């Protein structure tokens, strides 16, 4: 029994070591930005979803919808399939419940795509590499914008709140 557990741990570590790019990007960047954007959607009050920092900027909801749409587009590429209908439907969403659900569904769709993505496939074509990098980088850019909306609304961003319990850290 003990040998079986050790073998499983070894094989799991070996498989991750064989795909350092996709493993690191998923664990260190995708999972983190997913958690932060989904938590931002949850913590922002419904009446603030139509809030704009300044005229000409997207509303809070539009930032989340933009993330959902790009997630569907990029991850359809990673899955080598057509962009799902949910990508087009996202533009019509208005309420917090609808927008938050669409965002979370898009991240779930991407999580499935990333489960089967290995380093070789991630760099197999310019389109694949762009979709993979865009998924991580663009969502972090979106989160950077969302943080401003949260702070102006008097809300501590999820990434800061998560560090709030660490000794010596300021929110």
* pTM: predicted TM-score of the whole model, two decimal places: 0.85
What is the pLDDT averaged over residues 141-162?
96
pLDDT for 163: 82
What superfamily does domain 20-155 belong to in CATH?
Answer: dinb family like domain (1.20.120.450)
With 90 as the cut, is the pLDDT of residue 6 above it? Answer: no
Band (171; pLDDT cuts 50, 70, 90): very low
Alpha helix ranges (H) inside the chain:
2-17, 20-24, 31-43, 60-79, 85-89, 96-115, 119-122, 126-152, 158-163
The rounded distance, in Å, linking the Cα atoms of 114 and 131 is: 11
Contacts within 8 Å (CB) and 24+ apart, 118-123: 118/18, 118/19, 118/22, 119/18, 119/19, 119/20, 119/21, 119/22, 121/78, 122/21, 122/22, 122/78, 123/21
């Amino acid at each position: 029994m003990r040998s079986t557990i050790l073998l499983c741990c070894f094989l799991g570590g070996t498989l991750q070591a064989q795909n350092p790019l996709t493993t690191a990007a998923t664990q260190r960047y995708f999972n983190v930005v997913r958690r932060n954007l989904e938590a931002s959607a949850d913590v922002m009050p419904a009446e603030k979803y139509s809030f704009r920092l300044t005229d000409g900027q997207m509303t809070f909801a539009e930032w989340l919808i933009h993330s959902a749409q790009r997630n569907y587009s990029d991850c359809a590429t990673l899955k080598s399939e057509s962009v799902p209908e949910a990508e087009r439907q996202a533009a019509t969403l208005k309420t917090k419940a609808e927008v938050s659900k669409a965002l979370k569904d898009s991240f779930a769709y991407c999580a499935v795509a990333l489960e089967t993505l290995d380093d070789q496939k991630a760099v197999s074509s310019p389109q694949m590499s762009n979709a993979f990098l865009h998924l991580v980088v663009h969502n972090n850019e979106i989160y950077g914008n969302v943080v401003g909306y949260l702070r102006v609304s008097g809300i501590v961003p999820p990434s800061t709140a998560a560090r709030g319990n660490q000794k010596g850290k300021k929110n």
